[in-house]
Amino acid sequence: MNTCVVCNEELPPEHTVCASKGCLLHFHCAGIKEATWRKTKQQEWKCPECRKVTNNNNPVTPAEMRQFMANVTEKVNRIDELKSTFDALERSVTFMSEKYEQTLMELNAYKTKMDEVEKKVEVLEKVKEEKDNIIHDLSLRMREAEQYARKCNIEIVGIPEQRNEDLKAIMANIASALNVAHSAGDIDVVHRVPSHSHGNAPPKIIAQFSSRSKRDEWMDKKRQVPPIIASDVCNSTSTQKVFLNTHLCKEWKDLLWKAKQSGRAKGYNFFRYQNGKIIAKKSREDKDGIYILSESDFCRFV
């Protein structure tokens, strides 16, 4: 005879069976209705006593509970730290954003100023270009004016300087060597000027003629006679050649010197000032030459 494990009374044909230990119970002792029992998975159902035993198989100890609470507290603290970090990061991002906006505004203001400066620079460059053109034009005019003042002059190089020398007599001797008719009135002024060339070159003689035509006659004749030697025209034993040159102003002399330095590297060996320009040729016999008015013309040396 089967009895209920709770009330120890005889069981009817329909009763509950515990899936854990096979305990037999009345429906009312098991705390379950017969209809519910029929719907329950009977192979998994456990009676209340067995359920208590199962739940108490692994009881939580106080140490485990403390560890669990410590873990929970640690995670909560970690969450607080992360929140603080996030808040700090948010403040940093906000600060950087404000700085970025400020920097952007400053850059825009700087760009505006730079645009204004560039416009002013463009205006100043145009003004400078105009001024440079004016200065260049004035320099050319001054150069021509200074050169025009020398239109009746001849520069004589190669005659040694002597004490108490008579320059007018020397000029007369040069006229004789050139086979040119000469009178005392042909020359207004004759004097020496210091030489700027290197070495111990004697001071040059500058002679100012009374007319340009007379000066040109001397310059033409010098190309038709043999070279003049210093001893032939002055009281000296020097065998140095005497050269009659156009009396150039400083600007033309500098340009002539630079032209020679640049042109000789390209094979130009003959340079002469004539009628307000420098003529450069590779040989004296060349019919064509290069005309030099400024340093920008040096590019024509080929």
Going across the sheet that includes 241-246, the strands are 187-193, 204-209, 153-157, 241-246, 228-229
Decide if pLDDT at 178 tops 80: yes
SS3 call for 199: coil
Residues 253 and 166 in one domain: no
Are the C-beta atoms of 175 and 182 separated by less than 8 Å?
A: yes
User: pLDDT tens-digit profile of 220-246?
Assistant: 999 899 999 999 999 888 999 999 999
Find, among 297, 301, 294, the residue nearest to 133 by Cα.
Answer: 294
pLDDT at 195 over 90: no
Write b or e for each residue in 69-95: b if 16 or more Cβ atoms lie within 10 A of its Cβ, otherwise e: eeeeeeeeeeeeeeeeeeeeeeeeeee
Would you say 228 and 269 are in contact if contact means Cβ atoms under 8 Å apart? Answer: no
Amino acid present at 211: S
Q: Are residues 49 and 11 in the same domain?
A: yes
- What global pTM score does this model have? 0.57
Q: Find, among 190, 184, 189, 186, the residue nearest to 167 by Cα.
A: 190
Q: Are residues 73 and 145 in the same domain?
A: yes
Q: What is the mean pLDDT of residues 105-127?
A: 93
**Does 242 share its domain with 160?**
yes
Residues 134 and 93 in one domain: yes
Do 77 and 52 belong to one domain? no
| Residue 203: per-residue pLDDT | 92
pLDDT the model gives residue 198: 54
Let me know whether 36 and 69 are in one domain.
Answer: no
Mean pLDDT of 166-185: 94
Note the pLDDT tens digit of each residue in 118-172.
999 999 999 999 999 999 899 889 999 999 999 999 999 999 999 899 999 999 9
Task: Return the DSSP state at 184.
Answer: G
CB atoms within 10 A of CB 159: 26
- 251 token code pair: 């600007």
Mean pLDDT of the chain: 88
CB 233 within 8 A of CB 163: no
Residues 87 and 144 in one domain: yes
Q: Which helix (H) or strand (E) holds 150?
A: none
- CATH code: domain of residue 181: 3.30.70.1820
User: Last residue of a domain, which of 112, 135, 150?
Assistant: 150
Tokens of 93: 């991002």
Residue located via tokens 């069976």: 17
Find residue 154's DSSP bridge partners. Answer: 207, 246
When computed from its CA atoms, the radius of gyration of the chain, rounded to whole angstroms, is: 61
Residues 202 and 288 in one domain: no
Given 247, 266, 283, which residue is the final one in a domain?
Answer: 247
Q: With 0-12 CB in 10 A as exposed, 13-18 as middle and 19+ as buried, what is 66?
A: exposed
Assess contact for 236 and 161: CB atoms under 8 A: no
Report the candidate in 52, 58, 47 with the shortest Cα–Cα distance to residue 25: 47
253 shares a domain with 225: no
* Percent of the chain whose predicted confidence (pLDDT) is above 70: 95
Q: Which residues share a beta bridge with 273?
A: 278
pLDDT at residue 149, rounded to an integer: 93
Please give the DSSP secondary-structure letter assigned to residue 227.
P
Sequence-distant (6+) residues with CB within 8 A of 203 are 161, 192, 193, 194, 195
Question: CB count, 10 Å around CB of 249?
Answer: 16
Residue that is last in its domain, among 120, 150, 180: 150
- For residue range 18-75, list pLDDT tens digits in order: 988 888 889 888 888 888 888 887 888 888 888 876 555 556 667 667 777 878 888 8
Q: Dump strand ranges (E) for 141-299.
A: 153-157, 187-193, 204-209, 228-229, 241-246, 270-274, 277-281, 290-292
Q: Residue 61 carries which DSSP code?
A: P
Residues 121 and 206 in one domain: no
Whether 241 and 263 share a structural domain: no
Its domain, for residue 180, covers 152-247
Q: How far apart are CA 178 and CA 157, in angstroms?
A: 15
Look at the chain and report how many structural domains it folds into: 4
Question: 274 forms bridges with which residues in the sheet?
Answer: 277
